[in-house]
């Protein structure tokens, strides 16, 4: 039965919504192309960071002096928890068409995302003001702020997208194009977590070892 | 298919599929949490040599990324759509070439300027 095949990444709708499932294939593949291109962008930012954290410190402070591990660990745990909650929201999209449950899990995801953004913003402020290490101090700091700032903006855009989709779901329900948009939001959110795993390891953990 | 039969079919697949898919998300959360805590512990508490620590932490990060693809993005090497898998392979190739090339050139240039 062709409808039972896995047609695209993420939760597939076969079983509960076969008609939309077969239409989802091309739509979600297009989004998958964007996500993979985004991964290449982040990989290159990380490569530049890897070089700059060794060669571009100039007379400024290096990663070993600036980063502590506790805050990034809490941020990692917040993003990980939000990956689970967005997954649970996707299960509601697929099985229940239960708008209340979906709203609760999306709200939990948004809350965890906001915690992440707030902690990161506090850290940016600590570096730029308290530690006197703004982006213009050295090449290392420029690329550090560019890399983590790009990720910060991605999470912020994800939250705005989530708010728009929450309104669309309330207005039109799940029996509309909104359903596939929610699936794509889920993929986007998981991908941001993948990028953060790389940042946590190659920026913070490696930095603590320098 | 009559309306009744359709409802029955939905209910049946709902019960089996939902449990399994919930399990997959919970497994993903548990394994990625464990891997995060492990790599944190290696750096924070492990008195291991620096190079060993760097390699261990990198391997743990790769394992965690693989877990994200497996449990959260539901990528399955045997069942996923061929196009999705090909694109992952191509992206990996591009990343290896560009990250490897960038690192090689910049570190080589650095050593020549010293």
Residue A162: what pLDDT?
96
Residue A1: what pLDDT?
41
Q: Measured between CB atoms, does B69 come within 8 Å of chain A?
A: yes
Q: Considering only CA atoms, which of A204, A169, A199, A208 is closest in space to residue A39?
A: A199
Q: Tell me if A47 and B99 make a contact (CB, 8 A cut-off).
A: yes
Residue of B79, B81, B97 best to disrupt the A interface, most CBs of A under 10 A:
B81
Residue A4: what pLDDT?
59
Question: Would you list the DSSP string of A89-155?
Answer: HHHIIIII--HHHHHHHHHHHHHHHHHHHHHHHHHHHIIIIIS---GGG-HHHHHHHHHHHHHHHHH
- Is the reported ipTM for this assembly greater than 0.85? yes
Distance CA A124, CA A148 (A): 9
For A148-173, the pLDDT digits (tens) are 999 999 999 999 999 999 999 999 88
Torsion over CA: A107, A113, A115, A117 (sign): negative
Residue A20: what pLDDT?
82
Residue A97: what pLDDT?
64
Residue A129: what pLDDT?
94
Give the closest-approach CA distance of B79 to chain A in angstroms: 6
Share of chain B above pLDDT 90, in %: 61
Sequence length of chain B is 114
Q: Measured between CB atoms, does A111 come within 8 Å of chain B?
A: no
Residue A21: what pLDDT?
82
A16, A193 in Cβ contact below 8 A? Answer: no
Residue of A57, A84, A147 best to disrupt the B interface, most CBs of B under 10 A:
A84
Residue B12: what pLDDT?
43
Distance CA B29, CA A199 (A): 19
Residue A15: what pLDDT?
76
The low-confidence residues of chain A, meaning pLDDT below 50, are 1-3
B41 Cβ contact partners less than 8 Å away, ≥ 6 residues apart: none
For B10-48, the pLDDT digits (tens) are 444 444 578 888 999 999 999 999 999 999 999 988 778
Nearest CA in chain B to A39: B91
Query: What DSSP character marks residue B73?
Result: S
Residues of chain A neighbouring B32 (CB-CB closer than 8 A):
80, 83, 197
């Amino acid at each position: 039965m062709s409808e039972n095949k896995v047609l695209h990444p993420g939760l597939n709708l076969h079983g509960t919504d076969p008609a939309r499932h077969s239409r989802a294939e091309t739509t979600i593949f297009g989004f998958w192309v964007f996500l993979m291109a985004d991964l290449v962008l982040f990989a290159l930012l990380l490569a530049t960071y890897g070089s700059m954290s060794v060669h571009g410190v100039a007379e400024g402070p290096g990663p070993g002096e600036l980063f502590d591990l506790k805050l990034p660990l809490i941020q990692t745990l917040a993003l990980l928890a939000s990956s689970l909650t967005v997954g649970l929201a996707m299960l509601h999209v697929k099985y229940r068409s239960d708008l209340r449950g979906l709203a609760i899990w999306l709200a939990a995801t948004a809350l965890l995302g906001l915690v992440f953004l707030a902690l990161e913003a506090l850290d940016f402020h600590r570096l730029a003001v308290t530690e006197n290490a703004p982006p213009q101090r050295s090449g290392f700091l420029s690329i550090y702020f560019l890399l983590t700032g790009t990720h910060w903006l991605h999470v912020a855009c994800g939250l705005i997208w989530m708010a728009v989709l929450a309104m669309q779901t309330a207005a039109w329900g799940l029996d509309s194009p909104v359903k596939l948009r929610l699936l794509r939001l889920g993929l986007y959110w998981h991908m941001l977590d993948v990028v953060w795993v790389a940042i946590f390891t190659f920026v913070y953990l490696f930095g603590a070892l320098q | 298919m009559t309306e009744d039969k359709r409802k029955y079919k939905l209910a049946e697949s709902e019960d089996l599929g939902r449990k399994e898919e919930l399990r997959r998300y919970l497994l993903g959360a548990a394994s990625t949490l464990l891997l995060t805590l492990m790599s944190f512990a290696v750096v924070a508490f492990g008195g291991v040599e620096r190079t060993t620590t760097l390699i261990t932490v990198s391997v743990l990060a790769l394992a965690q990324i693989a877990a994200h693809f497996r449990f959260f993005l539901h990528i399955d090497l045997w069942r996923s759509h061929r196009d999705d898998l090909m694109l992952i392979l191509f992206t990996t190739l591009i990343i290896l070439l560009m990250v490897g090339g960038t690192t090689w050139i910049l570190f080589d240039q650095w050593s020549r300027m010293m």
